[in-house]
Amino acid sequence: MKAIFLSKEIDQFSARVADVDEAQLPEGDVTLKVEYSTINYKDALAITNKSPIVRKWPMVAGIDAAGTVEKSTHPDFKPGDKAILMGWGVGESHWGGLAQKVRVKGDWLVKLPATMTSRESMAIGTAGFTAMLCIMALEDRGIGAKSGEVLVTGATGGVGSIAIAILAHRGYRVVASTGKTSEEAYLKSLGAAEIIDRNTLAQPGKPLQKQRWAGTVDSVGSHTLANACAQTIDEGVVTACGLAQGMDFPVTVAPFILRGVKLDGINSVTCPMERRRRAWQRMEKELDGSKLASMIVEVPLAEALARATDVIAGRHRGRIVVDVNR
């Protein structure tokens, strides 16, 4: 089978499309014939070796996959079933989905929603799944469409694009923060009501600032996340799911103890299965297919390497779907 194969010996790192013997696949009770995968920010970090994502070498990259069950001894899956794989250390400590086959624990899989194709599920991928988890967290904390404006940072990325589309569908007024102001038409087509330059949030700011946001979906971290917290209204909610600007969090306790701001961390990797299924059920109903289609760039497996570099450099928007069989 073909796969994006990552190896590292001493200081020599390699990422390439390789022919891999299926006999080398790790243990698992389900073998999935992969149809599509995707490139998330974490995949890009692993493929470019920009961050220590990979914990076991060598590694097949890809934290997501979707396809058809080929073999199974798991009670919930039989050959021919369609399934989605994401998280659980895949592409980090267990061989991943940028390959023509994966072998994993059936407990890691979610059945593909009935009205969704494998390609559509990978257009959503971990990025879209994470966006939905953020929205669910906002709602669980009482932030609805009438609560006030919701800020989405990193708006042209995968998390941001899908968050905007779903929030707008649910009636929220969404403000999109981006460094690509030339993409205003794209963001407004997804449902953003207003576009702001990311530089208004990316610099060091005061511990408390003028209140504006009822909620935030942040995939950026660092000063952007700190400023979002400082600008959040009383009892507002900030969800944090990424670190595109940095892993640091230069904030004081002021927003939390003086305004009751809630900060929710979003973990898509070991998210409990019940919440996973609920998120996928909601995406099946609430994500406009035409808006999703407008976000997609599809590439063959060999092109995934170059696209990962583009992701790190910020030269992309929306979602990159990988056809692993071409």
Tens digit of each residue's pLDDT (9 = 90 or more) over 123-137? 999 999 999 999 999
Over range 27-44, report the average pLDDT.
96
Confidence of residue 14 (pLDDT cuts 50, 70, 90): very high
Query: CATH 3.90.180.10 residue ranges in the chain?
Result: 2-112+293-323
Fold of 2-112+293-323: Quinone Oxidoreductase; Chain A, domain 1 (3.90.180)
Using N-to-C axis directions, what is the helix angle for 118-140 and 158-169, rounded to 10°? 70
CA distances from 118 to 121, 184, 193 (A): 5, 29, 31
Q: Which residues pair with 289 in a beta bridge?
A: none
Confidence of residue 305 (pLDDT cuts 50, 70, 90): very high
Over range 186-209, report the average pLDDT.
97
Confidence of residue 11 (pLDDT cuts 50, 70, 90): confident
The answer to whether residue 10 scores a pLDDT higher than 90 is no
Tens digit of each residue's pLDDT (9 = 90 or more) over 211-227? 999 999 999 999 999 99
Position 140 scores a pLDDT of 97
Over range 23-35, report the average pLDDT.
97
Mark 203-215 as b/e (b = at least 16 C-beta within 10 Å). Answer: eebeebeebebbb
Over range 70-93, report the average pLDDT.
97
Domain 126-265: give its CATH code.
3.40.50.720
Confidence of residue 210 (pLDDT cuts 50, 70, 90): very high
Query: CATH 3.40.50.720 residue ranges in the chain?
Result: 126-265
CB of 58 closer than 8 Å to CB of 7? yes
